[in-house]
Amino acid sequence: MDAVAEAGPAIDPALRDAILDWYAAAGRELAFRATTDPYAVLVSELMAQQTQAARAAEAWTSWMARFPSVEALASAPVADVLRAWAGLGYNRRAVHLHRAARVIVAEHGGRVPSSVEALEALPGIGPYTARAVAAIAFGEPVGAVDVNVKRVLGRIVVGGAEGLTASSMQTLADSAVPRDRAADWTHALMDVGQRVCRPRRPNCADCPAIAWCAYAAGVRPAALVTGGRTGARRPEPAFESTNRWLRGRIVERARDADGWTRFDTSIGVHGPGAVRAAVIALARDGLLDARETATNLEARLPR
pLDDT the model gives residue 43? 97
Q: What is the pLDDT of residues 208-256, one digit of tens each?
A: 999 999 999 999 887 666 554 544 555 666 778 888 888 888 888 888 8
The 3-state secondary structure of the chain, one letter per residue: CCHHHHHCCCCCHHHHHHHHHHHHHHCCCCHHHHCCCHHHHHHHHHHHCCCCHHHHHHHHHHHHHHCCCHHHHHCCCHHHHHHHCCCCCCCHHHHHHHHHHHHHHHHHCCCCCCCHHHHHCCCCCCHHHHHHHHHHHHCCCCCCCCHHHHHHHHHHHHCCHHHCCHHHHHHHHHHHCCCCCHHHHHHHHHHHHHHCCCCCCCCHHHCCCHHHCCCCCCCCCHHHHCCCCCCCCCCCCCHHHCHHHHHHHHHHHHHHCCCCEECCCCECCECHHHHHHHHHHHHHCCCCEEEECCCCEEEECCC
How confident is the model at residue 4, as a pLDDT? 44
- Domains annotated for the chain, with CATH where assigned, are 13-25+144-222 (1.10.1670.10), 37-138 (1.10.340.30), 240-300 (1.10.10)
Instruction: Check residue 154 and give its pLDDT.
Output: 95
pLDDT of residue 115: 96
For the chain, which residues score pLDDT lower than 70? 1-10, 223-237
Inter-residue contact 127 to 110 (CB < 8 Å): no
The predicted pLDDT at position 10 comes to: 61
Catalytic residues: 45
